[in-house]
Amino acid sequence: MGAGKSTLGKEAARLSGRPFVDLDREIERRHAPVAELFDRGEPEFRRIEEELAAEVLSSAEPAMIALGGGAVLSERTRDLLRSRAYTVRVEVDPAMAWERVRRSDRPLARDEEAFRALFDERQPLYDQVSAAPVRSVDDVLLAALEIEVARGRLAALDVDGRVAVIADEHVLELHPLGFGPNQVHAVPRGEAAKTTSVLAQLWADLDLDRRGTIVGYGGGSTTDVAGLVAATYLRGVRWLAVPTTLLGQVDAAIGGKTAIDLAAGKNLVGAFHYPAGVVVDPDVLATLSATQRREGMAEVVKTGLLAGRPLWELGEDDLIRGAAAFKAGVCLEDPFDQGRRAILNLGHTFAHALEAAAGYEGLSHGSAVALGLLAALRLSGRSTDVVEEVLAPQPVPVDRNRAWAALQRDKKSERRELRLVLLDEDGPFVAARPEAEVRAALNELIAD
């Protein structure tokens, strides 16, 4: 009690599009105020708490649930937390928790010494059921998709069992692995890794059983192809994403989308296969060039625009955590891209068309996204100042007709109607725009 579970839970529920259940408030709604129930006897309150916890934890509908501090006293509830939920523990200093609750009507917050003793007694039970400690909403969302952001983490990386690493050949030279996998398979840098020939070669060379683990080690293109191999090899094996670019750490390695490209378009063959974990070590970004860093900043600016937070102004660690957490929340709400997740494509319809027109050569994904954001903001009637100041995109020399043809094949089109992610004062939305307007916006991105 006093840790802030309700406050964090309510905001995390909003960002992940899930209903919020505060167990104590639900008890009061159905029965009586908690203080009144305690006056009748704590055993009766615990019985009610256990029954209601079992009900909400067994629901088929995903929810964000804040439990009362003593709910874990029940062995039945602890079993359900381990089997039916992903549980995080909100860390709080006991002195701060006491200050928050000492003037309340909470029945177990009437004596500081007893309160602190209770705090200490419950910690082992919290440790039994919680998968991760958290202090913020970003922490909650990151933990829910097993995304760990920590400097120096790669040096301590170790993976149990038989392991095959699929790695960007250049990254292996810059950042040698700190552990000894059973196999290492090098793939080309960038989009050159996302081809049918690379995919077929990896299938042929892999030597794992279904208990093995694939580690995708490199930028977003590397984790894309590694994830698709993991999704398809032996009908699916476990995998970890270890992104080594800013773009990969804030976007590409998060959310379970895996794919390769075809001549007809980007990411046309793929699968949803969520990694068992995403290991983000900001230290590896020290070797990025200014151009490579700007690639990732395109996704940071996109995410900041969607979230309504100037993420691009934050320090590196907070910038990564904030962008990754926002995407995690959207993916929790829409894990298989059937609804709200479409907003993450802000600017990407144009970006993918430009990349396809360039033949996936000479135009990086980040540069294409920066240009796509210009088009999306212009069609939204919004200022493009942030994109121009932070990313400074320049028109690119690609064939206009080829770019237009690629845009019309976009996966987000419905019944041949071009649907775009746009932005207004209330946030992102998906809407159709007249063909002439869309083509004019695309043409502005192309150099004469």
Looking at the predicted structure, is the pLDDT value of residue 144 above 60? yes
Average pLDDT for 391-413: 88
If you average pLDDT over residues 111-120, what whole number do you get?
94
At 60, phi and psi to the nearest 5? Answer: -75, -20
pLDDT on residue 414: 55
Q: What is the mean pLDDT of residues 367-377?
A: 97
| pLDDT given for residue 105 in this prediction | 85
Evaluate if residue 228 carries a pLDDT over 70: yes
Strand ranges for 109-237 from DSSP E: 132-134, 147-149, 163-168, 183-187, 213-218
Please list, residue by residue across 228-243, b when 16 or more beta carbons sit within 10 angstroms of its beta carbon and e when fewer do.
Answer: bbbbbbeeebbbbbbb
Length of the chain: 448
Q: Range with the lowest mean pLDDT among 186-200, 261-275, 296-310, 312-326? A: 261-275
* Cα 233 → chain centroid: 24
Question: What value does the mean pLDDT take over residues 65-79?
Answer: 95
Domain ranges of the chain: 5-136, 149-288, 290-448
Q: Tens digits of per-residue pLDDT, 192-214?
A: 999 999 999 999 999 999 999 99
What is each CA distance from 250 to 62, 73, 224, 242, in whole angstroms?
Answer: 25, 38, 14, 12
Smallest CA-to-CA distance from 213 within 231, 193, 240, 243 is with: 240
Provide the pLDDT for residue 393. Answer: 96
CB neighbourhood size of 35 (10 A): 13
- Name the DSSP letter for residue 67: P
Question: What does the pLDDT read at residue 226?
Answer: 98
| Intrachain domains 5-136 and 149-288 with the same fold | yes
The correct answer on CATH 1.10.3720.10 for the domain covering 5-136 is: no
Q: 428 near 421, Cβ under 8 Å? A: yes
- DSSP tag of 31: T
Tens-place pLDDT, residues 313-325: 999 999 999 999 9
**pLDDT, tens digit, for every residue of 92-103?**
999 999 999 998
pLDDT over threshold 80, residue 300: yes
Give the model's pLDDT for residue 92: 94
What is the average per-residue pLDDT within 15-38?
A: 95
Residues linked to residue 344 through DSSP beta bridges, in sequence order: none
pLDDT at site 415: 54
Q: CA dihedral in degrees (371, 373, 377, 383; nearest 10)? A: -80
pLDDT, position 416:
57
The better pLDDT of the pair 274, 414 is held by 274
Predicted confidence (pLDDT) per residue in 410-447, tens digit: 755 555 568 899 999 999 999 998 899 999 999 999 99
The encoded tokens of residue 193 equal: 């890794």
pLDDT at position 360: 82
For the chain, percent of residues with pLDDT exceeding 90: 89
**Residue 68 has what DSSP assignment?**
P
Contacts of 354 (CB under 8 A, 6+ apart): 363, 368, 371, 372, 396, 398, 403, 445, 446
Read off the pTM: 0.92
Residues forming beta bridges with residue 168, ordered by sequence position: 187
Give the pLDDT score at 448.
Answer: 85
Contact 376, 350 (CB under 8 A): yes
Write down the CATH number for the domain with range 149-288. 3.40.50.1970
Average pLDDT over all residues of the chain: 94
Label residue 409 by pLDDT band (50, 70, 90): confident
CATH: 1.20.1250.20, 1.10.3720.10, 3.40.50.300, 1.20.1090.10. Which one for 290-448? 1.20.1090.10
pLDDT single digits (tens) 329-338 = 999 999 999 9
Query: pLDDT, tens digit, for every residue of 28-43?
Result: 999 999 999 999 999 9
Q: How far apart are CA 287 and CA 297, in angstroms?
A: 15
The pLDDT assigned to 411 comes to 54
Residue 46 has pLDDT above 60, yes or no: yes
**pLDDT score of 413:** 53
